[in-house]
Amino acid sequence: MLLIKTTDKNFNEKFGELLGRGAMDMAHVSTIVGDIIDEIRQEGNEALMRHIEKFDRWKPLKADDLMIDLQQMKRAYDDLEKDLRDALHLAYERIEAYHRKQMPKSWIDFDDAGNTLGQKVTPVDRAGLYIPGGKAAYPSSLLMNAIPAIVAGVEEIVVATPTPDNEINHLLLAAAHLCGIKKMYKVGGASAIATMAYGTETIPKVDVITGPGNIFVATAKKMVYGDVNIDMIAGPSEIGVLADETAIPEYLAIDLLSQAEHDEMASSILITPSAELAEAVRETIYLELPKLERELIARKSIEERGAVIVTETMDEAIALMNRIAPEHLEVMTANPFELLPKIKHAGAIFLGSFTPEPIGDYMAGPNHTLPTGGTARFYSPLNVENFLKKSSIIAMSEEGINAIGEACALLAKTEGLTAHEKSVRIRLR
């Protein structure tokens, strides 16, 4: 695990490498993804079924084979042990409550001249959710993507998930039943994104696509953006930790590993002004690694993309973390809320020793679909507004247009738009 200090001569070079952690070479997969999208657009189900046979190793014989049966979802839900069902319900309730507070409102405002201005907020008609499947199936991702769409009032939710060897995670099915999903399909990768973006004989076209995925999914989302809306283009998972000498090394070590076990490409970065803490955390990480079920994945992530940075001050540490703009940021200091005003860029911020990042993955309530690779500088977490759109409302009275019409016509005339100018002038007294 890389250990660097801001006083090192080559610090800027090493830190620059960390800033490039989220870069994905989409160019080398763009041709493959482009071909997949073209085939789906031209051939529909025929191409889709061919892709499933090739990539997921099973052959749908008819269009109905693509659909996941509603009774199968219900059986998976009914078969859950009570503790697991209760945990699923608790997560649902907390996620729903948080996202309800995000709902923007329509509004109408009247002025003294009788003019009416306002905003009308409406959900999209149909949302497409991409949920990873197979060994990397994450039922929590279904909750995090479906619930804000439900809260937003989306009438039709379409779920696509890959089913390698025609097998599907039962907890994912149970979560789909809990969310009331009626349309769920056995399709993954770039094929799923293309299918939801353009539709086939079986799977309807959607208005917005959300959800995480690999580089093929990310590239496909980038390519179809504009024909549909998307949430963001997310890369490998990551965590940043700001800590002072009061932090507990064992907590920090296992929290850093909680992201490393996701993916060999995940990054885990600790920044602290305490050299003693930095060394203790590094030692603890290597003690904990052999205890993990996904040790090989976590070890490769930590050794190739993990880092501990020792600064001279906490303000310097915060400044560096703002440049990193991590997906997840833990603040493990004596008074974490005092640092909050200085933190500008992070997908989700976890404050205090009793707030590990995984509590946000499952149960806290805020969405765990977050910007990665430094895009927290301009992207927000997935939220209800990803499933909403706003229309402006304008209604001018005769008095109102006479008050501002002359200025409007003058601007139109200056731009050389004669019909614009006349459209206003013929209404003026």
Indicate which residues carry an active-site annotation: 327-328
Is residue 240 classed exposed, middle or buried when 0-12, 13-18 and 19+ CB atoms within 10 A define those classes? buried
Residue ranges with strand state E in 97-180: 107-110, 116-123, 126-130, 156-161
Residue 213 structure tokens: 């995925």
Residue 415, helix vs strand vs coil = coil
52-56 long-range Cβ contacts below 8 angstroms, 24+ apart: 52/186, 52/187, 52/191, 55/162, 55/188, 55/189, 55/191, 56/162, 56/163, 56/164, 56/165, 56/166, 56/186, 56/188
> From edge to edge, which strands make up the β-sheet containing 388-395?
107-110, 116-123, 388-395
> From edge to edge, which strands make up the β-sheet containing 126-130?
183-186, 156-161, 126-130, 208-210, 229-230
Residue 103, helix vs strand vs coil = coil
Q: Which residues are within 8 A (CB) of 163 and not within 5 positions of it... i.e. 6 or more apart? A: 56, 58, 133, 134, 186, 188
Distance (Å, rounded) from C-alpha 143 to C-alpha 189? 20
Continuous H helices in 122-188: 139-152, 170-178
